[in-house]
Chain A
Amino acid sequence: MIKLKLGVGALVFATNIGYAGAVALTYHSRANCVGFNESISWHLGHEYNLYTYSQHYQYSNYGSLLQGHDTFDNWHLTWRSAAYHTNEGYGGWKVWGVHKMIVNGLQKTVATTFATNCNIYNGWWD
């Protein structure tokens, strides 16, 4: 079991190209990650007031909407804000993330992210 987990970890690691989130803030959404969908913001070692909102929609292969719901990680001082659902993300999901923060004394909606797969995660594994 441990070997399997290590193998999956190594596979995920192998798909990552490069690093992000150490020098500045970065935002992602990921879908169909075999067990979860999520939207996430982070900046290593730096704390901000962050809020992340994530909408998840599942479509059939024929394009009809099967289900949809949302979740959020409420405002708090953190280096990493993640809104996610486990026990889903096994195919057909679209994820929309809204990333808000208070930075430099201003409240901003800093990014909106969208994903249909689990590939986009250009950073070190946490």
Chain B
Amino acid sequence: MLNKKLYKLCLTSLVTLSITSNVSYGAPYDYDKMIINEINERLGPDEPKIDQGLVIIKDKPNVFGGLLTAPSLPLDLEINMPTLKYDFNEAKNARTSFKMATSKTSIGSELYAKELKEYEKDLPITFKHKTFKNKNKSLKYLGQSIGGVQLPDGKYTSAIEVFEHQELGICKYILDDFKTAKAGLTIKESMLRNDINGKYTWIYIAGIDNYGVNLVIEWYDEKLWHTLNCSGINYTENNLTTAIKIGRELDLNNEI
């Protein structure tokens, strides 16, 4: 009888301990709203909050209709033509990206190659993604990798495909699962375009011509944030037209 009571007592204690232990550490990525609010309060009034996703400040009426899709307007690069912004740091970054992907001698390029090799067959990511390998003859596929946040189950929130283009240089197509990464971006509608299949599009070109240039196109939809980042040595307006065309193809390919 005493043994039975002892057994019950032990069992109850074990169950209680197990429950309190779970409460103590919680489920993976089990966000406590109180903590999120506290973090957001510390971010300041004008800074993008965690978990907010994309917030468009509507300062451009009668151009974009929907929240995340814009009516298909003809591509007119004469209007608000993005120009090359002089930036030494961007130039260095562009040059490094280019060298790490093309050189085979530095420690950086070795790690770069190892990372691409590591994820050659499989991308442990939080979303579905269709590769662009062999979809465009002007793009030589160099490999794929992961980025962003690694979750407790080992999956990452970003996927990256790397290509080489004769004029554009080394192009990375980055897809970000911004919802899972708890990311935030606030942007004025007047800063955006709609070049990539009518989706909100941001174009940024910075660096130093004949040294290193980053040509970046970001576009956003409900599921993912997309970035095409081409790092080359030179820049011409023709490069932007080419990159936009590639961006449109990448976007359509990824529609599953």
Contact = CB atoms under 8 A, between A and B. Distances in A.
Given A22-B115, A23-B147, A98-B43, A108 B48 contact: yes
Instruction: Identify the interface centre among A62, A104, A106, A122: most chain B CB within 10 Å of its CB.
Output: A104
A100 interface: yes
Contact of B111 (A44, A55, A57, A62): A44
Given A104-B202, A111-B181, A111-B183, A45 B108 contact: yes
A68 B186 CA distance: 30
A109 B115 contact: no
A44 B147 contact: no
Interface string B195-223: 00000001010100000001010100000
B118 A19 contact: yes
Contacts of A106: 185, 187, 202, 204, 218
Interface string A89-107: 0001010101010001111
Interface residues of B, number: 63
Contacts of A94: 25-26
A33 interface: no
Interface stretch (A4-12, A80-88, A112-120): A112-120
A109 B149 contact: no
Contacts of A60: 24
Given A98-B43, A109-B184, A112-B183, 8 more contacts: A18-B115, A22-B114, A22-B115, A23-B145, A44-B111, A47-B89, A60-B24, A100-B43
28 contacts: A19-B115, A20-B145, A20-B150, A22-B114, A22-B115, A23-B160, A23-B162, A27-B149, A28-B149, A45-B100, A53-B39, A61-B20, A61-B24, A62-B20, A77-B89, A98-B39, A100-B48, A104-B218, A104-B229, A106-B185, A108-B183, A109-B48, A109-B185, A110-B183, A112-B39, A112-B50, A116-B26, A124-B111
A23 B172 contact: yes
B96 interface: yes
Interface of A: 18-28, 44-48, 53, 55, 57, 59-63, 70, 77, 92, 94, 96, 98, 100, 104-114, 116, 120, 122, 124
Contacts of B97: 46
Contact of A100 (B28, B47, B51, B218): B47
Given A45-B108, A107-B48, A108-B48, A63 B181 contact: no
A63 B115 contact: no
Contact of B148 (A62, A92, A107, A111): A111
A62 B156 CA distance: 31
A48 B92 CA distance: 11
**Which one of B47, B89, B100, B149 has the highest number of Cβ atoms from chain A below 10 Å of its Cβ?**
B149
Interface in B230-251: none
Please list the 3 inter-chain residue pairs (A to B) with the smallest Cβ-Cβ separation, ordered nearest first: A112-B182, A24-B147, A109-B184
A26 B111 contact: no
A120 to B, nearest CB: 5
B139 interface: no
A59 B21 CA distance: 10
A100 B43 CA distance: 10
